[in-house]
Protein backbone atom coordinates (compact mmCIF):
# COMPACT_ATOMS: atom_id res chain seq x y z
CA UNK A 1 0.00 0.00 0.00
CA UNK A 2 2.81 2.42 0.86
CA UNK A 3 4.22 1.77 -2.59
CA UNK A 4 0.93 2.80 -4.13
CA UNK A 5 0.87 6.06 -2.24
CA UNK A 6 4.11 7.12 -3.89
CA UNK A 7 2.86 6.07 -7.26
CA UNK A 8 1.87 8.93 -9.53
CA UNK A 9 -0.53 7.88 -12.29
CA UNK A 10 0.02 9.43 -15.70
CA UNK A 11 -3.16 10.74 -17.25
CA UNK A 12 -3.80 12.17 -20.69
CA UNK A 13 -6.81 14.49 -20.59
CA UNK A 14 -8.46 15.31 -23.91
CA UNK A 15 -10.40 18.52 -23.37
CA UNK A 16 -12.68 20.27 -25.79
CA UNK A 17 -11.67 23.82 -26.42
CA UNK A 18 -15.03 25.46 -25.72
CA UNK A 19 -16.23 23.88 -22.49
CA UNK A 20 -13.84 21.67 -20.58
CA UNK A 21 -10.67 23.54 -21.45
CA UNK A 22 -12.45 26.76 -20.51
CA UNK A 23 -13.68 24.99 -17.36
CA UNK A 24 -10.12 24.08 -16.46
CA UNK A 25 -9.15 27.73 -17.04
CA UNK A 26 -11.86 28.68 -14.55
CA UNK A 27 -10.51 26.17 -12.03
CA UNK A 28 -7.20 27.99 -12.49
CA UNK A 29 -8.66 31.46 -12.11
CA UNK A 30 -10.44 30.23 -8.97
CA UNK A 31 -7.15 28.68 -7.73
CA UNK A 32 -8.84 25.35 -7.03
CA UNK A 33 -6.08 22.85 -6.34
CA UNK A 34 -6.09 19.38 -7.86
CA UNK A 35 -3.47 16.70 -8.60
CA UNK A 36 -0.92 17.48 -11.31
CA UNK A 37 -1.11 14.04 -12.88
CA UNK A 38 -3.28 14.89 -15.87
CA UNK A 39 -1.68 16.57 -18.88
CA UNK A 40 -4.29 18.34 -21.00
CA UNK A 41 -4.48 18.12 -24.77
CA UNK A 42 -6.97 20.62 -26.11
CA UNK A 43 -8.95 19.61 -29.17
CA UNK A 44 -11.67 21.57 -30.96
CA UNK A 45 -14.43 19.22 -29.81
CA UNK A 46 -14.90 15.84 -28.16
CA UNK A 47 -16.33 14.82 -31.52
CA UNK A 48 -12.80 15.18 -32.91
CA UNK A 49 -11.42 12.54 -30.57
CA UNK A 50 -10.75 9.35 -32.46
CA UNK A 51 -10.97 6.13 -30.44
CA UNK A 52 -7.48 5.61 -31.80
CA UNK A 53 -6.27 8.40 -29.48
CA UNK A 54 -7.51 6.50 -26.46
CA UNK A 55 -5.84 3.26 -27.51
CA UNK A 56 -2.69 5.11 -28.45
CA UNK A 57 -2.48 6.89 -25.10
CA UNK A 58 -2.72 3.58 -23.27
CA UNK A 59 -0.24 2.07 -25.70
CA UNK A 60 2.18 4.90 -25.02
CA UNK A 61 1.94 4.30 -21.30
CA UNK A 62 -0.96 6.31 -19.92
CA UNK A 63 -2.36 4.91 -16.69
CA UNK A 64 -5.66 6.64 -17.35
CA UNK A 65 -7.32 8.56 -20.15
CA UNK A 66 -9.90 11.29 -19.64
CA UNK A 67 -12.20 12.71 -22.29
CA UNK A 68 -14.11 15.81 -21.27
CA UNK A 69 -16.42 18.06 -23.23
CA UNK A 70 -19.53 20.16 -23.26
CA UNK A 71 -22.75 18.92 -21.75
CA UNK A 72 -25.22 17.35 -24.13
CA UNK A 73 -27.07 20.12 -25.92
CA UNK A 74 -24.25 22.63 -25.33
CA UNK A 75 -21.79 21.52 -27.98
CA UNK A 76 -20.31 24.50 -29.76
CA UNK A 77 -20.56 22.41 -32.89
CA UNK A 78 -24.07 21.24 -31.99
CA UNK A 79 -23.59 17.52 -32.37
CA UNK A 80 -19.94 16.75 -31.74
CA UNK A 81 -20.49 15.55 -28.17
CA UNK A 82 -23.33 13.27 -29.28
CA UNK A 83 -21.00 11.60 -31.76
CA UNK A 84 -18.30 11.41 -29.11
CA UNK A 85 -20.67 9.86 -26.59
CA UNK A 86 -21.33 6.95 -28.92
CA UNK A 87 -17.71 6.46 -29.97
CA UNK A 88 -16.41 6.68 -26.43
CA UNK A 89 -19.07 4.30 -25.19
CA UNK A 90 -17.91 1.72 -27.71
CA UNK A 91 -14.21 2.04 -26.94
CA UNK A 92 -14.96 1.95 -23.21
CA UNK A 93 -16.96 -1.26 -23.62
CA UNK A 94 -14.22 -2.81 -25.71
CA UNK A 95 -11.56 -1.98 -23.14
CA UNK A 96 -13.74 -3.40 -20.40
CA UNK A 97 -14.35 -6.50 -22.47
CA UNK A 98 -10.71 -7.45 -22.76
CA UNK A 99 -10.34 -6.92 -19.03
CA UNK A 100 -8.90 -3.41 -18.74
CA UNK A 101 -10.09 -1.94 -15.45
CA UNK A 102 -13.18 0.25 -15.91
CA UNK A 103 -11.66 3.09 -13.96
CA UNK A 104 -8.83 3.63 -16.43
CA UNK A 105 -11.04 5.38 -18.93
CA UNK A 106 -13.26 8.24 -17.93
CA UNK A 107 -15.53 10.65 -19.71
CA UNK A 108 -17.09 13.74 -18.20
CA UNK A 109 -19.07 16.77 -19.21
CA UNK A 110 -17.55 19.92 -17.77
CA UNK A 111 -18.89 23.27 -18.90
CA UNK A 112 -16.94 26.51 -19.02
CA UNK A 113 -18.69 27.48 -15.77
CA UNK A 114 -17.75 24.30 -13.90
CA UNK A 115 -14.22 24.99 -12.69
CA UNK A 116 -14.87 23.23 -9.41
CA UNK A 117 -16.29 20.22 -11.20
CA UNK A 118 -13.23 20.01 -13.42
CA UNK A 119 -10.95 19.92 -10.38
CA UNK A 120 -13.19 17.29 -8.79
CA UNK A 121 -13.20 15.12 -11.90
CA UNK A 122 -9.39 15.09 -12.00
CA UNK A 123 -9.11 14.54 -8.24
CA UNK A 124 -11.51 11.59 -8.31
CA UNK A 125 -9.92 10.08 -11.38
CA UNK A 126 -6.40 10.30 -10.04
CA UNK A 127 -7.61 8.85 -6.73
CA UNK A 128 -9.18 5.89 -8.51
CA UNK A 129 -6.08 5.33 -10.59
CA UNK A 130 -3.89 5.36 -7.50
CA UNK A 131 -5.92 2.41 -6.25
CA UNK A 132 -5.29 0.53 -9.50
CA UNK A 133 -1.55 1.01 -9.78
CA UNK A 134 0.34 1.20 -13.08
CA UNK A 135 -1.31 0.23 -16.34
CA UNK A 136 0.73 -2.37 -18.18
CA UNK A 137 -1.84 -4.20 -20.27
CA UNK A 138 -1.68 -2.01 -23.35
CA UNK A 139 1.62 -0.34 -22.55
CA UNK A 140 4.37 -0.82 -25.07
CA UNK A 141 7.30 -2.79 -23.70
CA UNK A 142 9.98 -0.22 -24.35
CA UNK A 143 8.05 2.21 -22.16
CA UNK A 144 7.60 -0.24 -19.31
Partner 1 sequence: MSKKRTGVFVCHCGTNIAATVDVAKVAREMAAENTVAFTQEYVYMCSEPGQESVVQAIKDNKLDSIVVTCCSPNLHEKTFRDNAQRAGINNFTCEIANIREQCSWVHADKAKGTEKAIKISRSVVRRVNRNQPMDAIAVSVTRRAMVIGGGIAGIQAALDIANAGIEVILVEKQATIGGRMLQLSETFPTLDCSQCVLSPKMVEVKRHPKVKLMTYSEVQEVSGSVGNFRVKVHKRSTFVDPDKCKICDHCTEVCPVVVPNEYELGLTARRAIYIPYAQAIPASFTLDEDACLGLNPIRCGKCKDVCEAGAIDYDMRPQTVTEDVGAIVVATGFDLYGPENMPELGGGRVEDVLDGLQFERLISASGATKGHILRPSDHKEPKEVVFIQCAGSRDPAKHCAYCSKICCMYTAKHARLYKKHVPDGRAYVFYIDIRSGGKGYEEFVQRTMEDDDTLYLRGRVSKLYRKDGKVRVHGTDTLTGQNVEIDADMVVLALAMTPSKGTAEIAKTLKIGRDKDGFLAEAHPKLRPVESVTGGIYLAGAAQAPKDIPETVAQAGAAASKVIALLSQATLSRSPLIAKVRPSHCTGCGMCVEACPFFAIRLENGKAIVNEALCEGCGSCSATCLRAAIDVKNVTQMQIHEMIEACLA
Partner 2 sequence: MIKLQDIRDTARDMLAKGEARAVIGYRRGSRGMLAEPAFLTRPEEADELVWDPTCFHNLSLYLVHDRKHLAHARKTAGAPVAVIAKGCDARSIVVLLQEHYFQREDVYIIGVSCEGTGVVDERKLAGHLNGAQAISAAFDGDDFVFTTAEGEKRLPAREVMADRCLECCSPFPKEHNLAFGEDKTGRQLEAPFAALDRFEAQGAGERWDNWARHFDRCIRCFACRSVCPMCYCDECVVDSITFPVTTATTAEEKASRIRWIERSAARSENITYLMTRAMHLAGRCTDCGECDRACPVNVPIRLLNNKMEKEAREQFGFEPGASIGGPSLVASFLDNDPGNFIR
**Residue 120 within binding range of partner 1, rule CB under 8 A:** no
Residue 44 binding result from partner 1, partner 2, none, given CB thresholds of 5 to 8 Å by partner type: partner 1
Distance of CA 20 to the CA centre of its chain: 11
Instruction: Please name which of 132, 4, 130, 19 lies closest in space to residue 67, comparing C-alpha atoms.
Output: 19
Query: Which residues partner with 42 through β-bridges?
Result: 15
Distance separating alpha carbons of residues 81 and 73, to the nearest angstrom: 8
- Sign of CA pseudo-dihedral 11, 80, 48, 114: negative
Residue 91 lies near partner 2 (rule: CB under 8 A): yes
Give the single-character DSSP code of 31: T
Instruction: Annotate 23-33 with b (16+ C-beta within 10 A) or e (fewer).
Output: bbebbeeeebe
How many residues at the interface with partner 1, by CB under 8 A? 50
Q: Which of residues 3-62 bind partner 1 (CB under 8 A)?
A: 8, 10, 12, 21-22, 24-29, 31-37, 39-45, 47-53, 56-57, 60-62
* Contacting positions for partner 2 (CB under 8 A): 51-52, 55-56, 59, 72, 79, 82-83, 85-87, 89-102, 106-109, 121, 124, 137-141
* Contacting positions for partner 1 (CB under 8 A): 8, 10, 12, 21-22, 24-29, 31-37, 39-45, 47-53, 56-57, 60-62, 73-80, 83-84, 87, 119, 143
Amino acid sequence: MSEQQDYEPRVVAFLCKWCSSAGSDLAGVSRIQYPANATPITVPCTGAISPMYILSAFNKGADGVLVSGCHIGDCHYLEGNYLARRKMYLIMKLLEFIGVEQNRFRMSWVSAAEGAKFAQVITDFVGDLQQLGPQDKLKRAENK
